[in-house]
Amino acid sequence: MQLYSYFRSSAAYRVRIALNLKGLTAQIIPVHLLNNGGEQHSVEYQQINPQQLVPTLLEQQAQQPFILSQSLSILEYLEEKFNDIPLLPTELQQRARIRAFCQSIACDLHPLNNLRVLQYLSDILNITAAQKTAWYMHWLELGFTGLEAQLSDSNPYFCFGNRPSFADCCLIPQVYNAKRFNMDLSAYPKIAAIYAHCNTLAAFQQAAPEVQMDAT
């Protein structure tokens, strides 16, 4: 397996955590989202992922490579193919809650603060750095308030239940990004506790941006 990744991409970060939790090894192929105008826009990478986004999972097969984009789809694929260490519980309603939580991050919160959106705000709409930060923090605070409410029955260790799940794979990268912008987490004690605990675990530590081969 190969994973096209950028060290600070929260979507790629989700997949790196899941791979580690499942004990799977993937060759990391860095795609720098800033160098040379963004390597994701290169002709070579567009042949792999026409959306020009990371992550992309590639598996070599006899006939032709299997290529899959979108982090949540990659998590689902890994879960179905490598289920020895599951990241979803067996109980139907809990599985649904976890998926809803993940989508709150991957579909609602993250896209508004993604790199290409922030670049458009700065480069095309010419908003100031202060305005861009205000945009970023507005959506973070709104999103985190909803996430904290979804964690009302959680323990201080993981989002749902007593073992890591898709939800933790999605939450920890989002919090990491929030902390890069100096977000105060005091209003979100459950999120803060889960973030602190997960980062004591090797699977999360080894997926962290600062230890990736392309970290700069």
Q: Rounded CA gap, 13 and 73, in Å?
A: 14
Tell me the pLDDT tens digit for each residue of 85-100. Answer: 999 999 999 999 999 9
Is the N-terminal amide bond of 55 cis, ω within 30° of 0?
A: yes
CATH hierarchy code of domain 92-204: 1.20.1050.10
2-84 to CATH, choices 3.30.10.20, 3.40.50.300, 3.10.20.30, 3.40.30.10: 3.40.30.10
CATH code 3.40.30.10 region(s) in the chain: 2-84
Q: Which residue type is seen at 162?
A: N
Q: Rounded CA gap, 168 and 166, in Å?
A: 6
Helical pair 92-103 and 166-180, crossing angle rounded to 10 deg: 20
Average pLDDT taken over every residue of the chain: 95
Q: Rounded CA gap, 141 and 83, in Å?
A: 35
Whole-model pTM: value is 0.95
What DSSP line would sit under 30-62, residue for residue?
E--SSGGG-GGGSHHHHHH-TT--S-EEEE--S
SS3 69: strand
Residue 63 CA: distances (Å) to CA of 59, 60, 66, 68, 92? 11, 9, 9, 16, 36
Q: What share of the chain is helix, strand, coil (3-state, %, to 5)?
A: 55, 5, 35
CATH code 1.20.1050.10 region(s) in the chain: 92-204
Helical pair 166-180 and 71-81, crossing angle rounded to 10 deg: 150
Tell me the pLDDT tens digit for each residue of 111-153. Answer: 999 999 999 999 999 999 999 999 999 999 999 999 999 999 8
Tokens representing residue 56 in the block: 């992309």
Burial of 86 (0-12, 13-18, 19+ CB in 10 A): middle
The yes-or-no verdict on residue 184 having pLDDT over 90 is yes
Q: Which residue type is seen at 67?
A: I
Tell me the pLDDT tens digit for each residue of 31-42. Answer: 999 999 899 999
